[in-house]
Structures are given as structure tokens and as C-alpha cells.
Structure 1
Amino acid sequence: MTMVSSHIRRLVVLTMSMQLLWTRFVSSFPRSSLSKIPITPLTSFNSIYMQRHPTTFSSSTRRALSTTTSEDIVQLSYSEFQPSNKGTTTSQQHHPPVILLHGLLGNKRNFASLASSLSTQLQNPRSIYTVDLRNHGENTHDWKNTMSYSEMARDVLAFMDKISSEEAVIVGHSMGGKVAQSLALMAPERVAGLVVLDISPVRYYSDNKKASGGVGDDSGWKVVEQIVRSVAQIDLEEGGYKTKREVDAVLRDGILEDPALRAFVLTNLEQLRAKDVSDAESQSLLKWKIHWDGIVNELDRIAGFDVHDQSMDSNLEGLEEQQQQSSQYTYDGDVFFIHGGASRFVRSSHLPTITSYFPNHMLTTIRGVGHWVHAEAPDDTIALLKRYLDR
């Protein structure tokens, strides 16, 4: 009994100490360009304890992961950014790495500049990784026809095993943010921290109609879906396109007027040299580095939020998706949501669902920026990430 009491006292002291650190972190945000909006009071700080003492869900998660075959896993392409300060190897061992997850139609290069800058600025040195999620980027050797969030989370867990990382801080934008949240809920003991960039753990709809028991959706998902379906129809071979400029003209004339969005989509095109084209009859010197068929077929899953595969069962019709899962899955660590003030992807109506999954969370809005917060406000995003990681 004495040993137990002593353990409890140490745990209480640790919890109070970490709560103080988190409070200092919350109160340290710059007020000039950022609007500080704590969603819920952080009445407890359980992340350190919970990560070392997994919830009851982690055992079932391990069983689920053990049934996943190597054929189901995508070995993700990645880039690594080491701290500029050499000689920090010992210190790094005490600070889990950071893994950055891009959004739909993105790739690991989207976070390259941020990762490079962040790696040189952290007080607590960490390795930083950017990865290509399944059906994106340099994973062309292993396209998949399915891409549920639980599958993509398993890919990231396999990547963590590959780099021998017991736990990591996961940062995800948009679709990558949903992957990050799924990972935290599926395997909380593997997640040392979670940062979500402008996305909620909810289903988005392609129209403004109210879902059964839900709310109208004006997030912009309809536009995203239209862009994906339209760009996927561009046949590089049939068009005989030789340069990205030619494809850019096609996008500009009927699909995407926004030059920034066109440039973003074009990052998925690889320019080939004539001598590298094996097919003598090939009319194009371009290649997509994205699996359009797999993505188009899975748009409904990408719009949703499935922590476990069964949540996409046709009998559920998606209408009870969040209610059913939130009662089963919770991540008690510290979660930091960064929202673009001009974006509609994070709404006040989402807060109950966010709270049910992530009771210890905070949301900060960067004013005047849209969905791509890290691209539109890189300095503010880096400053916020640095404060979170060095807290």
C-alpha cells in the first residue's frame, strides 16, 4: 500500500508539473498575428502517463495490427532532416522525432522547407521526417486500390518501426491530419504529441444538405472533389503533353483558375527525358506521381473519418460514424489544432466531436489564411510548432 501511495504521489506531482508547462505553453502565443482560442479548459495533463501506460484500446489495436500482412502495408518514401547542431545525438534520444504528413494530392516536398527550418530552430533537437502517404509521391512502386485512414495510419506505424522509433510527434495537414488523428486513436502509446493543421475528425459532404443528425457542409470539400475528378481525367498519353506548361494551360482553361492551386497539382507531374521513355510509341514526356484511380475510387472514405475499417460498413451509411467511434476511441495526450481563419474546414459545430476524441486539446486560429496554413503563413506555423515541441 505504501509503495502504491508513493507512486500515486509521484504521479500527481508529475501531472501538476506538466500541467504548469502546458499552461505556460498556452499563455505564450503571440497575440499580434494569432487569435488564441482554447476550445476546452485543460483540466488534466495525462499525456506522459498515458503514453507509458496504454489505454485498453491499445491491446486490441495491437491485435488488429498483427493481422495486417506485409502486402497490405506501403513502405513509405521519406526524407529526413537532422538538427543542424552536431553533437546532439544523446539529447535527441530523449526527444521523439517529428513526422510530417501531407494532405490530399500533396507529397513530402510540401513540408520540406518547413522541416528544414524547424530542424534548425528547436531548442530540443529532434529528427524530422516528411513522408509520401500511400498513392502519392515516390510510392509509385506500390500503388494501392484502398486508402482508408486506418490503412494509412498502419503505413505510418510501419514507417516508425522502420526508423526504430517507439513513439513520435505526428503533425498532419488536411488528409494527413486525419491520418495523424487516426494513428493517435488507434495506437496512443506510439504518439508523443499530435498537431493537426486545418482539419476536423468529421465527415465532409459534397453538398450543403444536412446529413442525418449532422450539419450542413460548406467546407469546400465539393470543390476538392471536383478538382480531383477533373484532373484525374487528363490523359497524358492521349494529349501527347511534353511539358508541365502544356498541362498547366489545360488546367487553367477549364479546371483551375487559381495559379497557386495549379502549381500545387503540378507538383505531382514528373518531367521525363526522351531517352528515359521506354515505350517508343509514347507521345508524352510526363508521368503522374499519383495514383488517380485509387484516389478517385476512395474519395468517399477520404471525406469521412474511419478509425477502424468496420466504420465504413455500408449498413452504417456514415451517419453515426463519429458518434459510434468517439465512444470507443480517445487520445488523452495534448493535441494542438491550428486553423486557418479564412478556411471552413474547422467549424464550431465540430467541437463536440473533437472534444470526445481529444479531451486535452487546444485550437489556435491564424488570421487571414486559408486551408494551406503552413504554405500561406509558414513563419507563424513554424513558431507555433516550435512552441509546442519545446514546451
Structure 2
Amino acid sequence: MSFDAMAADVLALLDKQGIKQAVLCGHSLGGKVAMALALARPERIERLIVLDIAPVSYDTHDGSCWNEIHQVVRAMRSIDLERVRSKTDADAVLARTISDPGLRAFVLTNMLRDQNGRFRWRINLPVISQKLDELAGWEAPAAEPYGGNALFVSGGKSQYVRSLHLPAISELFRRFSVTTLRGAAHWVHADEPESLRLIVLKFLQAPSA
């Protein structure tokens, strides 16, 4: 489970759908995948939107940062899918450790019913849990900086995109901008969805630099 492999999966999907060029948006781990693909295949990415993550390696022992993601993954794994009868049941389990109802609702978008009516996770939760600390790292593809417009959206209550990360961003993304949603934590799309929508829309409508 590497960023290169996941970027290749996204590229394969674009090829399968006949999409020659796309606007790519990714959050957290997805943001790192989006950055990896934009750097490796810039001609395929028209514009790039990265939500609350930077092209850096994070300290997995930093309690204010990566542990937040660990907490969510542990909460998801604590749900016994064999006993859950509804998403309300699952929400009650998550509420033991995740107080934010918006974040819980976002997490539960990853829960689906299979053809037998049983709940399952849309994502490969065991592998993500096993590889989580590795995914805190970052190794930039051996490529030129991405030349398209790149928008980085940070959460004002999050530590993932801060001024100390700007040199790393500018080294790889020459035409970048950073916008901060001051009321949002790491899950910016769950915390401030309407504000994020307006920011993204403005970015997409702006002429290319």
C-alpha cells in the first residue's frame, strides 16, 4: 500500500473512464495520492486540490497530529459489523470516542450493506490500520514540480498544514495557494462543507495563471 501504487490505481480509473485530464481533489491520505499523481503525470491533472495535508513526513508520535487519525481508525475497528443492525447502532459505538457528530457521519459514509444485507466497510480497514504509520511518510516522485494550479485547504484547528510546511509545498507545486478554514479541524469537508464548496468553486472558476 504505497502512494505510487494508489496513484497508479487512480490513473487506471481515469484511463478506464476515458478521462484524458481531470481536476483531482484528495483529503489527507487521498491528498498525498493526488499530489503523487500530479507530480508523476502532470499532463493528466488539470488542477489539484489538497485538503489538510502537506507533502511532508509527519511524526507519528505527535499526539496533536497523527494520533487523531489513529483514534478514528481504532473507533471504526471497534464496531462489530456482525452485530450492527443499523448505522444508528454504529454511530452509538463511534460516539464513545468521537464526540463530533459531523465527523461520525462522515466516517459512516464508508459503511455499506453487501448483497446479503450485512454491513461492511467500503475501505480496506485492516490494511489501513496496519500501514497507518507508514502512510505518515512522504517520498516525492523523481519528477519536475507540478506546473498547474494547486489549492491547499487547511483546517484552522488542525496541525497538518502550517507555515513550516510552505517551503516543501512551494518546492513541488510552483503555482499554489493556501486557504484556511478557521473553524475546521482535520476533516475540513465534514466540519465546514459549505465553506469548502465555495472555496473550491472559486478555485475552479478562476482563470489558469
The size of the alignment, in residue pairs, is 206
In structure 1, the partner of 2:72 is: 227
In structure 2, the partner of 1:204 is: 58
In structure 2, the partner of 1:139 is: none
Q: 1:161 to 1:223 in 2, by over 3 A?
A: same
Tell me the secondary structure at the aligned position of residue 202 of structure 1.
Answer: coil
Supply the AA of the counterpart residue of 1:261: L
2:204 and 2:84 map into 1 onto residues whose CA distance is 45
Q: 1:230 to 1:355 in 2, by over 3 A?
A: same
In structure 2, the partner of 1:252 is: 95
Residue 187 of structure 2 is aligned to residue 372 of structure 1 = yes
> Is the Cα–Cα contact under 8 Å of residues 195 and 337 in structure 1 kept in the other structure?
yes
Deviations 1:357-382 (A, max 9, x none): 11221112233222233333333323
Aligned counterpart for 1:261 among listed residues 103, 112, 133:
103
TM norm structure 2? 0.85
Runs of 4+ in 1 over 6 A off after TM superposition: none
Aligned counterpart for 1:337 among listed residues 144, 152, 157:
152
2:121 and 2:200 map into 1 onto residues whose CA distance is 32
1:244 and 1:168 map into 2 onto residues whose CA distance is 33
Question: 1:151-162 to 2 correspondence within 5 Å?
Answer: 151-162=5-16
1:189 and 1:298 map into 2 onto residues whose CA distance is 30
Ranges in structure 1 where 5+ consecutive residues have no aligned partner: 1-146, 209-216, 278-284, 309-324
Larger mean Cα displacement after TM superposition, 377-386 or 331-340:
377-386
Structure of greater Rg? 1
TM norm structure 1? 0.48
Tell me the secondary structure at the aligned position of residue 246 of structure 1.
Answer: helix
In structure 1, the partner of 2:41 is: 187
In structure 2, the partner of 1:94 is: none
> Is the Cα–Cα contact under 8 Å of residues 178 and 200 in structure 1 kept in the other structure?
yes
Tell me the secondary structure at the aligned position of residue 359 of structure 1.
Answer: strand
Deviations 1:37-73 (A, max 9, x none): xxxxxxxxxxxxxxxxxxxxxxxxxxxxxxxxxxxxx
2:151 and 2:93 map into 1 onto residues whose CA distance is 39
Report the Cα offset of residue 246 of structure 1.
Answer: 2.5
Report the Cα offset of residue 339 of structure 1.
Answer: 1.8
Deviations 1:274-294 (A, max 9, x none): xx36xxxxxxx4323232222
1:243 and 1:156 map into 2 onto residues whose CA distance is 31
> Is the Cα–Cα contact under 8 Å of residues 103 and 187 in structure 2 kept in the other structure?
no
1:374 and 1:268 map into 2 onto residues whose CA distance is 15
Supply the AA of the counterpart residue of 2:132: L
What fraction of aligned residue pairs are identical, expressed as a percent?
43
Supply the AA of the counterpart residue of 1:259: P
> Is the Cα–Cα contact under 8 Å of residues 183 and 192 in structure 2 kept in the other structure?
no
1:160 and 1:257 map into 2 onto residues whose CA distance is 37
Question: 1:7-156 to 2 correspondence within 5 Å?
Answer: 147-156=1-10
Q: 1:159 to 1:349 in 2, by over 3 A?
A: same
Residue 166 of structure 2 is aligned to residue 351 of structure 1 = yes
Q: 1:288 to 1:378 in 2, by over 3 A?
A: closer
Report the Cα offset of residue 272 of structure 1.
Answer: 6.2
Report the Cα offset of residue 233 of structure 1.
Answer: 4.2
Deviations 1:157-194 (A, max 9, x none): 11111122221121222222111111111111111111
Residue 189 of structure 2 is aligned to residue 390 of structure 1 = no
> Is the Cα–Cα contact under 8 Å of residues 23 and 45 in structure 2 kept in the other structure?
yes
Report the Cα offset of residue 260 of structure 1.
Answer: 2.4
Supply the AA of the counterpart residue of 2:79: I
> Is the Cα–Cα contact under 8 Å of residues 48 and 149 in structure 2 kept in the other structure?
yes
Ranges in structure 2 where 5+ consecutive residues have no aligned partner: none
Report the Cα offset of residue 329 of structure 1.
Answer: 4.2
Aligned-residue Cα RMSD (Å) equals 2.3
Tell me the secondary structure at the aligned position of residue 50 of structure 2.
Answer: strand
Supply the AA of the counterpart residue of 2:77: A
Deviations 1:306-362 (A, max 9, x none): 445xxxxxxxxxxxxxxxx6xx54212221212222222101111111111112211
